[in-house]
Amino acid sequence: MTAPLPGSWHWLDPAGLQLVIDALRRRGHRVVGPQVADGAIVLRELASVAELPTGWLDEQDGGSYRLRHDPAAGTFDHVVGPHSLKNFLFPARETIASFTRTDGAWTQPHAPAPDPPLAVLGVRGCDLAALATQDRVFLGSGYVDEAYKARRERLFLVAVNCRRAAATCFCHSMGCGPAAGPSFDLALTEFGNRFACEVGSDCGAAVLADAIAAGALVTACSEAEIDAARGVPRDLAARMHARQGVADGPAPRSLDTHGIRDLLMRNLEHPRWDEVASRCLSCTNCTLVCPTCFCSSVQEVADLSGDNVDRERQWASCFSLDHARMHGQSVRSSTASRYRQWLTHKFASWIDQFDTSGCTGCGRCITWCPVGIDVTEEIAAIRATDGAASPDPGRETP
Amino acid sequence: MTTATYLPSAPTDPWRAHPTRIVSTVDETPGVRTYELAFEEAGIRAGYTFAAGQFNMLYLPGIGEAAISVSSDPDHCGTIAHTVRAVGNVTDALARLAVGEQVLVRGPFGTPWPLDAVEGRDVVIVAGGLGLASQRAAIHRLSRRDDGGRTIVLHGAKRPEGLLYAADYDRWRAAGIDVRTVVDEGDAFWIGRVGLATHLLADLHLDPAATTILCCGPDPMMVGVAEAATNRGVSTEHVFLSLERNMACAVAHCGLCQFGPHFVCRDGPVLRYDRIAGLMKVPQL
């Protein structure tokens, strides 16, 4: 058996995948992967392939998420749950600086040593795209977030090519899936009881070599087998574009993104914002499950003496009144203005800021919205009535 | 993607705050005080520079941060001044500090006034209330100009006691700056104009093609000034507004200050009017 190289494909069975996990743990990685917990498939620390959600499917729709056991389902036939890479690379709470006061003078000790490196198993194309998007925010905006950078540089990604889509998926519309990319260390395509494993990086090759050295039975894929593996996400994409379901499942969503930036920016006073606001609870769920939402606020956390202060960064949401609070008032006091901020940022102004959409089509915001508000439906409604003006005479048209 | 030209040349941890001591304070108008700060670390003190219109995050550990324009002379960075109104947790706590006490500073941040692009042009500084604090650094610079362009300061306040830096006006006038003031509501001693800053602008003889407007104040006042100036023929590309929004990070990461596509902390606070004119007129954006 020759050593695996980037770009090569190998057959891996579940025992071999276990040896990949073991190799990552031996290298000091904290390995995280999908597991069934609390009625959902979430990302948790993973020691064994037996913990993976083999035989579980997630049925998702607007405001609805249900797990269903299906003996015919594979290990990765679920799609995405409420967690994404964001939960690990940009944690919901994090101390970003600490200060200590001695004799009336404050000092700022240097940042503590970084956490152990992280490996995430089962990452889909939409979430890899979201990672690339968050990279632009925290690494490419002119300032570098050192904590994010430290975690990002040592991140090991075992991606998965989707062979099933949920009714909430629309990655094909956003150009973010279902194939795994743009970059990963290893990528798995499931066939029966084994995985075609594509090596995506030197690091991926080294970990696979470790697994082989530890006894993993790995054979090279033939050209025909590689073609078949590449065909899996390609066929799913074709069905998604044709809006066909998979194995009698419901058809996925889709979104017409043609001219979407200008469409939304010229409809800032469209009556649909008030209409959606009559349903929106401003609960922030969509921003919390979104794999690209990056807003945060900073809290001062002091001990009882007041001499030791941590600055704690927490996820913030444009749906909260505090987000745009100035001089005791919120700039965006209405739910309509906050929903508009979220949707127009995600699908329009994000393009000005980062040269890419903020949406990857993962569908989480649709699933986890308690009232089932669907971004694809909202944008389609605005497109269908492009140029409609708010009936509120107190408003000016931009 | 927005071009940001005022970014640090070397990567630095944006969360590192540098200790300063309050060297002196000046009580300016009711509730408003200027703090002169000196960096404690010799390397920072020697290396600190800022451009007129940029801001610092003033940090009091355990209480929080406030984004405040640097209002001292950009050519004299030995100490830096911030003029602050006590209106919230952080600024109230700042107001309780005495000379010699410590304030931590991150910065400078943001896009400054376009003083590199006003050579030979008439510069009209229009300030509503405390807005003048963000423009004083520019006034310092412009008081030394010898390029033939005029500098005019139009300052409006609610009441006469709200006129900021009143002790400096004679010095500014001696440097050739035309300083005009207006108040919304006079008192028994007020013999000047009553009205709005836009009224002062209306009185002004303008050469629209050679005029740059630098405006800072409440949003509606800035829109009024910008519209009045452009109606008189000043190009929207020569009208600049300094915006204020909620901020936590000052480095385009926290997202709180977004105004349409602009991160007010990085792409602003000074933004060219042609880039924001449509957005300024949308309520609750």
* CB contact residues (below 8 A), chain A span 345-384, against chain B: 345, 348-349, 352-355
B9 pLDDT more than 70: no
Q: CA-to-CA distance for B193 and B185, rounded, in angstroms?
A: 9
Select from B2, B253, B266 the Cβ nearest to the Cβ of A145: B253
* CB contact residues (below 8 A), chain B span 231-260, against chain A: 244-246, 248-249, 251-256, 258, 260
Residue B18 and residue B106 in contact, taking contact as beta carbons nearer than 8 Å: yes
- Tokens 């404050």 locate to A106
Residue B149 and residue B141 in contact, taking contact as beta carbons nearer than 8 Å: no
ipTM of the complex: 0.93
Nearest to B128 by CA among B53, B224, B203, B3: B224
pLDDT (0 to 100) of residue A398:
36
Chain B residue with the nearest C-alpha to that of A353: B1
B142 pLDDT more than 50: yes
CB pairs under 8 A between A and B: 136
- pTM of the predicted structure, to 2 decimals: 0.94
Cis preceding-peptide flag for A178 (omega within 30 of 0): yes
Give SS3 for B215.
strand
Q: Do B18-109 and B115-280 come out as alike in CATH topology? A: no
Q: CA-to-CA distance for B233 and A316, rounded, in angstroms?
A: 42
**Interface touch A108/B253, C-beta < 8 Å:** no
Q: CA-to-CA distance for A304 and A307, rounded, in angstroms?
A: 8
B54 pLDDT more than 60: yes
Tokens of A327: 């001089």
Which amino acid appears at position A367 of this protein? Answer: T
Q: CA-to-CA distance for B167 and A326, rounded, in angstroms?
A: 30
How far off is chain B from A263, nearest CA to CA, in Å?
Answer: 14
Residue B226 and residue B213 in contact, taking contact as beta carbons nearer than 8 Å: yes
- pLDDT averaged over 10-residue windows placed end to end, chain A, 398 residues: 86 97 97 97 97 96 96 96 98 96 92 87 98 96 92 97 96 96 95 96 97 94 97 95 74 94 96 97 98 98 96 97 86 96 98 97 98 97 88 41
Check residues A110 and B55 and name the one with the higher pLDDT.
B55
Q: Which residues pair with A171 in a beta bridge?
A: none
Q: What residues in B contact A111, CB-CB < 8 Å?
A: 13
How far off is chain A from B71, nearest CA to CA, in Å?
Answer: 21
- Tokens 């002062």 locate to B200
Q: What residues in B contact A355, CB-CB < 8 Å?
A: 1
Domain residue spans of chain B: 18-109, 115-280
**Interface touch A141/B260, C-beta < 8 Å:** no
How far off is chain A from B121, nearest CA to CA, in Å?
Answer: 30
**Interface touch B16/A104, C-beta < 8 Å:** no
Residue A346 CB contacts under 8 Å (≥ 6 apart), including other chains: A290, A292, A293, A357, A358, A359, A375
How do residues B70-121 score in pLDDT, each as one tens digit?
Answer: 999 999 878 999 999 999 999 999 999 999 999 999 999 999 999 999 999 9
SS3 per-residue string spanning chain A = CCCCCCCCEEEECHHHHHHHHHHHHHCCCEEEEEEEECCEEEEEECCCHHHCCCCEEEEEECCEEEEEECCCCCCCCCCCCCCCCHHHHCCCEEEEEEEEEECCEEECCCCCCCCCCEEEEEECHHHHHHHHHHHHHHCCCCCCCHHHHHHHHCCEEEEECCCCCCCCCCHHHHCCCCCCCCCCCEEEEEECCEEEEEECCHHHHHHHHHHHHCCCCCEECCHHHHHHHHHHHHHHHHHHHCCCCCCCCCCCCCCCCCCHHHHHHCCCCCCHHHHHHCCCCCCCHHHHHCCCCCCEEEEEEECCCCCEEEEEEEECCCCCHHHHEECCEECCCCHHHHHHHHHHHHHHHHHHHHCCCCCCCCCHHHHCCCCCCCHHHHHHHHHHCCCCCCCCCCCCCC
Q: Which fold has domain B18-109?
A: Elongation Factor Tu (Ef-tu); domain 3 (2.40.30)
Residue B73 CB contacts under 8 Å (≥ 6 apart), including other chains: B137, B140, B141
CA distances from B263 to A120, A353, B101, B166, B215 (A): 32, 8, 32, 33, 19
How do residues B159-170 score in pLDDT, each as one tens digit?
Answer: 999 999 999 999
Chain B residue with the nearest C-alpha to that of A328: B88
User: Is the four-CA dihedral A107, B18, A315, B66 of positive or negative sign?
Assistant: positive
How do residues B193-204 score in pLDDT, each as one tens digit?
Answer: 999 999 999 999
**Interface touch A297/B254, C-beta < 8 Å:** yes
CA distances from A34 to A22, A44, A51 (A): 16, 6, 8
Residue A149 and residue A138 in contact, taking contact as beta carbons nearer than 8 Å: yes
The order of strands in the sheet holding A308-315 is A105-107, A93-102, A308-315, A296-302
Q: What residues in A contact B273, CB-CB < 8 Å?
A: none
Check if A114 contacts B (Cβ < 8 Å). no
Check if A109 contacts B (Cβ < 8 Å). no
Check if A389 contacts B (Cβ < 8 Å). no
Check if A71 contacts B (Cβ < 8 Å). no
Check if A303 contacts B (Cβ < 8 Å). no
Q: Which fold has domain B115-280?
A: Rossmann fold (3.40.50)
Q: CA-to-CA distance for B133 and B143, rounded, in angstroms?
A: 16
Select from B14, B62, B252 the Cβ nearest to the Cβ of A302: B62
**Interface touch A337/B285, C-beta < 8 Å:** yes
Check if A153 contacts B (Cβ < 8 Å). no
The residue of A90, A108, A134, A325 whose CB has the most chain B CBs within 10 angstroms, and thus the best one to mutate to test that interface, is: A108
How do residues B206-246 score in pLDDT, each as one tens digit?
Answer: 999 999 999 999 999 999 999 999 999 999 999 999 999 99
Q: Which residues pair with A202 in a beta bridge?
A: none
Chain B residue with the nearest C-alpha to that of A261: B261
Domain residue spans of chain A: 9-91+98-241, 260-384
